[in-house]
Structure 1
């Protein structure tokens, strides 16, 4: 599941910020899936997939590594497939799988013929999904983490999915970074030698708003 941001200018989205659990948020996306792309792309000028990919490409250049373009990728919160399209534009031509619990969101993604396999799990704190451990060379998560449902306690679960030596590129609203415990959880993963932080930056999100974008290497 991906996130839409409440704004008085787009009143139909305000309902999202009243959800208090992952099942409630899932129900919201089931109801609003048909409006997701036209509203988020056209009205909000959402640039998350492109910015997230660019963060990874910048890290490749800065640190002198290349994520193989034919590697296995997991798109966590694949939604309607915008992030999958960004992966293809960045020349990732191998198997891309999706973790997306919303049937209505994913029905749009299926029409794009990007994803090989779909997991339908909700990502919940302190609970493993059906995604096998250490199974993906690259894990991306764009506009998924928040303070309502996919909280900072879920960072370790997403990290679990990546192979040792693999990479994670994560991007979400800076409001949640500031209000949640994401920094503390991330530093715990570093201290426990689960990940190395390659980059952590504030990036454009939508219409002048800001996201946090970070790239990790799993150790």
Structure 2
């Protein structure tokens, strides 16, 4: 196994707010892809896309590949690259608050528009309501900054009849209240849960990956 310096994990996981986490990514943006893809073999974008593809096959529907997509927490554009590999050729926008992360993503020529908001519970971002056919979020939700209460805001961004594909560390799924928030969203007739499964994350860690339909 590669000799990995786990100091990044201690620093990131010590963040107590969205702004503290943003400061971490501003500082480490230039090393992000090398550490996560090269050293940790992070496979989040591929696993999230695979969950969506499997869901399409099993439930016999297709998200139009020329649809309007929002990448929540676009980072350096790894998720945007995964979208393009799966044939998404329509307008792809990014929600990414880190200037340094997004400067790397922007160089890849994937995104049409950027929102630079942080996501807070009970606070609307500048993303218009019901605007996107597909909303993806990969490695964003956690128990320290973008918490389970932010699920309502991300669902707001999707069009009625649109889809959301969300993937994040299972540790946060187990320790947070994500299951409870999904139950609340279902009870409020906001979403239908189409798929929920566990996928590889990095190293020996697992992720939760699910697909929702906005009602």
Same fold (TM over 0.5): yes
SS of equivalent residue, structure 1 residue 184: helix
Q: Within the alignment, does 1:108 sit opposite 2:104 as a pair?
A: yes
Q: Within the alignment, does 1:52 sit opposite 2:43 as a pair?
A: no
Match among 137, 140, 146 for residue 136 of structure 2? 140
| Mapping 1:137-216, distance limit 5 Å | 137-216=133-212
Q: TM-score, normalised by structure 2?
A: 0.97
Aligned to 1:29: 25
Q: TM-score, normalised by structure 1?
A: 0.96
Once the two structures are TM-superposed, the CA of residue 208 in structure 1 deviates from its matched residue by 1.6
Equivalent pairs, count: 213
Q: What stretches of structure 2 of length at least 5 have no aligned partner?
A: none
Match among 111, 114, 121 for residue 125 of structure 1? 121
The structure 1 segments of at least 4 consecutive aligned residues displaced by more than 3 Å after TM superposition are none
What whole-Å deviation, never above 9, does each CA across 1:44-100 have from its counterpart, x for those lacking one? 000000000010011110111110000000000000000000000000000000000
Once the two structures are TM-superposed, the CA of residue 117 in structure 1 deviates from its matched residue by 0.1
Q: What stretches of structure 1 of length at least 5 have no aligned partner?
A: 1-7
What whole-Å deviation, never above 9, does each CA across 1:4-50 have from its counterpart, x for those lacking one? xxxx8422332011110011100010000001000000110000000
Q: Within the alignment, does 1:42 sit opposite 2:38 as a pair?
A: yes
Once the two structures are TM-superposed, the CA of residue 101 in structure 1 deviates from its matched residue by 0.2
Aligned-residue CA RMSD (Å):
1.1
SS of equivalent residue, structure 1 residue 37: helix
For 1:33 and 1:13, locate their aligned partners in 2 and report how far apart those are by CA, in whole Å: 14
For 2:196 and 2:165, locate their aligned partners in 1 and report how far apart those are by CA, in whole Å: 10
Aligned to 1:3: none
